Amino acid sequence: MAVFFICVGILGMLAVVLATRISGLRRGRRVSLGDGGDKELNVAIRAHGNLIEWAPLVLFLIYLLHGPYGPRHVAILAVVFTIGRLAHAGGMLGFVPSGRVLGAVVTLLVTAVAAVMLVVAGVRAI
């Protein structure tokens, strides 16, 4: 589970970095609520929002896999998901070419794999 905890910590730090970026842009553009029509601020808000929308569910699914599948599966999925989320954020902010698409695909694949694995574990337990 150590790898899982490290990945969750990295994603937590990513959330802080993305939120801090939003705060800096808001101060610089004097926008206290919403994006004020500013495209860069809107992109920063969506990069952060997308992480916050996906990470809790996917990390919960991955965490639940520990019981039926053990730490190796959890570690692999957590690392792949973390790399995908870093790529997505980097792509959204213009640092990683094609990172947004890559991150979105990785996120969907990891979510689907974890969900199917949990269903299989549940069926086996019946």
Q: Is the pLDDT of residue 1 over 90?
A: no
- pLDDT computed for residue 27 by the predictor: 95
Q: pTM above the 0.85 mark? A: yes
Cβ-contact 59, 82 below 8 angstroms: no
Give pLDDT tens digits for 4-50: 999 999 999 999 999 999 999 999 999 989 889 999 999 999 999 99
What is the DSSP secondary structure assignment for residue 98, as one 8-state letter?
Answer: T
Number of neighbouring beta carbons within 10 Å of residue 52: 12
Domain boundaries, the chain: 2-125
User: How buried is 4 (Cβ within 10 angstroms: 0-12 exposed, 13-18 middle, 19+ buried)?
Assistant: buried
pLDDT in tens, 68-122: 999 999 999 999 999 999 999 999 999 999 999 999 999 999 999 999 999 999 9
Determine the topology of domain 2-125 in CATH: Four Helix Bundle (Hemerythrin (Met), subunit A) (1.20.120)
Question: How does DSSP classify residue 33?
Answer: S
Q: Tell me, what amino acid is at 14?
A: L
Sequence-distant contacts of 58-62: CB under 8 A, at least 24 apart:
58/107, 58/110, 58/111, 58/114, 59/8, 59/11, 61/111, 61/114, 61/115, 61/118, 62/4, 62/110, 62/114
